[in-house]
Amino acid sequence: MNPIKEVRVRDFMMTKPIIFSSDMDLLDAIRVLVDRRISGAPVVDARGNLVGVLTERDFLKAALVAGYHGERGGPVRDYMSTNVEAVNADDSLVDVANRFGESKYRRYPVVQDNRVVGVVARSDVLRAIIEAFGRRHSGVRGST
């Protein structure tokens, strides 16, 4: 039996991710991303429903517009990406690994009933693989 096929997203997702509200000030959101050294975060509406993602690409575009026009920015909703791909907490981690392999995304919001319950990143998939197969033989030789 292949142990990795039984692993679910919920087993390896980050359960307390950074989440922005759609009306949060863009510069405050950028400050959080830079301070936390993350490349993006889900955005939710007042009811907690997933409505977008704010990424480095989004805020670089906003910075260019703000710099050119001399404006501060505005709410996150004006700059976030709204074409959001998310995964479900009960999805197979193998299926999510395949999605990562076929997409440009580094992380996916994890939703249940359209509410963000976590975030799963490529590194979470790699961690799951390591844990599933153990550290039997690393193939790395020391320099001693």
Q: What is each CA distance from 95 to 1, 30, 83, 125, 126, in whole angstroms?
A: 17, 31, 20, 10, 13
Query: Which CATH number does the domain 3-133 belong to among 2.60.40.10, 1.10.1200.10, 3.40.50.300, 3.10.580.10?
Result: 3.10.580.10
Residue ranges covered by each domain of the chain = 3-133
Residues 9-44 pLDDT 10s:
999 999 999 999 999 998 899 889 989 998 899 999
Q: Taking a C-beta distance cutoff of 8 angstroms, is the pair 18, 41 a contact?
A: yes
pTM greater than 0.85 (yes/no): no
Rounded Cα distance between 122 and 36, Å, is: 17
